Amino acid sequence: MSENDSDRYRAPALDKGLDILELLAEEESGLTQAEIAKRLDRSASEFYRMLDRLVKRGYVSRMDGDRFALSLKLFGLAQRHAPIRRLTSFAVPVMRDLAEATRQANQLVVFDRGNPVVVAQQEAPGYWGISIRVGSRIGLFDTGSGHVLLAFRDQEERERMIAEHLGDRADGWGLDVAYFERLERVRECGHERMPSAQTAGVTNLSVPVLGADGKAVAALTIPFLPLINAEDAPDMEGAVESLKAAGRALSVMSGAEFLAG
């Protein structure tokens, strides 16, 4: 579809509402109507009726009189999405056992509308661990989860995912032959192991959750944090083995249930 074809079906009111929701999703403390207008480069009067409707429908909450924040309604709708609900429901017990075995946190990530998204999170059983909020969108090119989601897809799907992630950005994040060779190595060895690009001292360990067609429907990741005073905690190699076992268990469940219907 050409740019002109896509513009032909624009819905300005809907775009305006979605712009507000996407903006508020990034602001924990909320924004005033004037701040929303400034961020979106529009006049405040353009958003009055839209904000009023979003509040009345429960998607936005009014805080302290003049501030607006995203409510939990969108989160609730996402949880009602049947495939994701089924995936997370049978993943949670496996993730809990994985956390106990490794003494590390772990998270389940799927690719959704251009971004890897955390759909389930299991805290580490001890005092320390790295956690990521459910619903967080993370990098596709610079995370273990992103690498695994790309590695266990065919080339056509990889290109589609990358194009969807980049959108209007044409730089391609400097992707080259070496990057795709790395994805092939990840596929060959069955997991990714890489220093976190976001947190010093953390190593991302990631495995795929495979569907019946052998493609990744999700990535299971441990942000491995070395524990100094925990003699019973496994080292990184032990964590990788436990992670692989958990990924295989979820893949069996995924092939039997997640892709069926």
Q: pLDDT per residue over 203-218, tens digit each?
A: 999 999 998 788 899 9
User: In this model, does residue 68 exceed pLDDT 80?
Assistant: yes
Q: Quick check: 13 and 50 in contact, CB under 8 A?
A: yes
pLDDT, one tens digit per residue, over 227-259 is 776 667 788 999 999 999 999 999 988 764 444
Can you tell me the mean pLDDT for 56-77?
Answer: 79
Q: Both 105 and 168 in a single domain?
A: yes
Residue 211 is part of which domain span? 77-258
**Is the pLDDT confidence value at 5 over 60?**
no
How many CB atoms are located within 10 Å of the residue 1 CB?
Answer: 7
Percent pLDDT > 90 in the chain is 35
CATH number of the domain enclosing 213: 3.30.450.40
Whether residue 8 is predicted with pLDDT greater than 70 in this model: the reply is: no
Residues 56 and 83 placed together within one structural domain of the fold? no
pLDDT for 171: 57
The CATH number of whichever domain residue 42 belongs to comes to 1.10.10.10
pTM: 0.68
Chain Cα centroid distance, residue 68: 25
With a CB cutoff of 8 Å and minimum separation 6, the contacts of 260 are none
Alpha helices in the chain (DSSP H): 3-8, 12-24, 33-39, 48-56, 73-79, 82-102, 144-151, 155-166, 177-189, 236-253
| pLDDT of res. 1 | 43
Q: Which tens digit of pLDDT belongs to each residue from 17-41? A: 888 888 888 887 888 888 988 898 8
Q: What is the pLDDT of residue 174?
A: 63
User: Do 60 and 124 belong together in one domain?
Assistant: no
Total domain count, the chain: 2
Whether residue 80 has pLDDT greater than 50:
yes
